Amino acid sequence: MKQQIIMKLLTGMAGLGIALGAVTAHASPEKDRQEMIKYYTDKYPNVKLEDYVYGALAFDADSKAQYDAIMEFPPFDSQVEAGRKMWETPFKNGKTYASCLPNGGKQIAGNYPMFDEAKGKVVTLQDAINDCRTANGEEALKVNDMKTMGQLTAYMRTLSDGMLMNVKVEGPKAMAAYTDGKKTFFSRKGQLNFACASCHVQNAGVRLRSELISPAVGHAVHWPVFRGGDNLVTLQQRYQGCFQQVRAVSPPQGGTTMNNLEYFHSSLSNGMPMKASVFSK
């Protein structure tokens, strides 16, 4: 069974070499993004680019209709509400997240991940939240703890709904981090020897077992997702799941490899509107 699926994916990858070469040969993030979009839109001329923000649902009208129905009364509202309480609860010193993040924490999520020149590394939105905590004498939250950081960001990202993704890659150090993330995205790994790109570029729109595979463009704007109702999944949590799917050892969430991957991966969605806390099949 498994073997059949893999064979199906491999045979679907005829264009692989060309596409990977085209994307990796260029050094400009904007060019990378445009080329990846061209790859998808040439292959699927009937799927509108603006619908890529719905992930795999863009390729499946029935599932999209189910999604719309569920989103009328999202089953995960109580989790987002718990995140709102966390967001509004002042630190022991009386300060709040809103008082220490730029613009009161509103309409900023699309600027992350960003490259912090002073620190010499990529900073994710979760890092910014933790910096805010530690600067105010609170302990950092574990980035992979869905009950704390997960719920908090599920709410916090709703404050940026509609903002256009705006990840900037400026200067040689930022470019090096971007290139490192890109390398991770295109490197084959695990016992199954798959790269992120093998599935989310070459096989986007193709069914793996019962699941349609989504395109990488549009991924980073709709986070977190709730699968199976109220099972909260953040972006790096999902990366980890995908690493494990190909039986690769996942790099730690919040570490440099994951953050650089998120930096590259998020820039692919530049210009697309953000929508936090969504349902995913």
Q: Smallest distance from the beta carbon of 107 to ligand HEC, in angstroms?
A: 22
- Return the number of the residue (121 or 238) whose C-beta is nearest ligand HEC: 238
Nearer to ligand HEC among residue 133 and residue 200 (C-beta): 200
231 pairs with which residues across the strands?
Answer: 227
Residues that bind ligand HEC (CB under 6 A): 55-56, 194, 196, 198-200, 208, 211, 213-214, 219, 225, 235, 238-239, 242-243, 245-246, 265, 280
In this complex, which beta carbon is closest to ligand HEC, that of residue 95 or of residue 281? 281
CA dist., res. 35 & res. 38, Å (int): 5
Helix (H) or strand (E) holding 30: helix 29-43
CB 196 to ligand HEC: min, Å: 3
- Identify whether the C-beta of residue 221 lies closer than 8 Å to the C-beta of residue 55: no
Measured between alpha carbons, how far is 266 from 168 in angstroms, rounded to an integer? 10
Strand 231-233: give its sheet, edge to edge. 231-233, 225-227, 278-280
Q: How far is the CB of 267 from ligand HEC (least distance, A)?
A: 13
Comparing CB distances to ligand HEC, the nearer of 101 and 158 is: 158
Q: Kindly give the pairing relationship between strand 278-280 and strand 225-227.
A: parallel
Least CB distance from residue 243 to ligand HEC, whole Å? 5
Is 225 within 8 Å of 74 (Cβ atoms)? no
In this complex, which beta carbon is closest to ligand HEC, that of residue 154 or of residue 196? 196
Q: Supply angle C-alpha 259, 261, 264, rounded to 5.
A: 110
Please measure the distance between the N-terminal and C-terminal CA atoms of the chain and give it in whole angstroms: 22
Q: How far is the CB of 71 from ligand HEC (least distance, A)?
A: 14
Amino acid at 49: L
Return the structure tokens found at 73: 């009364």
Active-site residue list: 242
The token pair that represents 220 in the structure block = 């980073």
**Cα 85 to the chain's mean position, in Å?**
24
125 three-class SS: helix
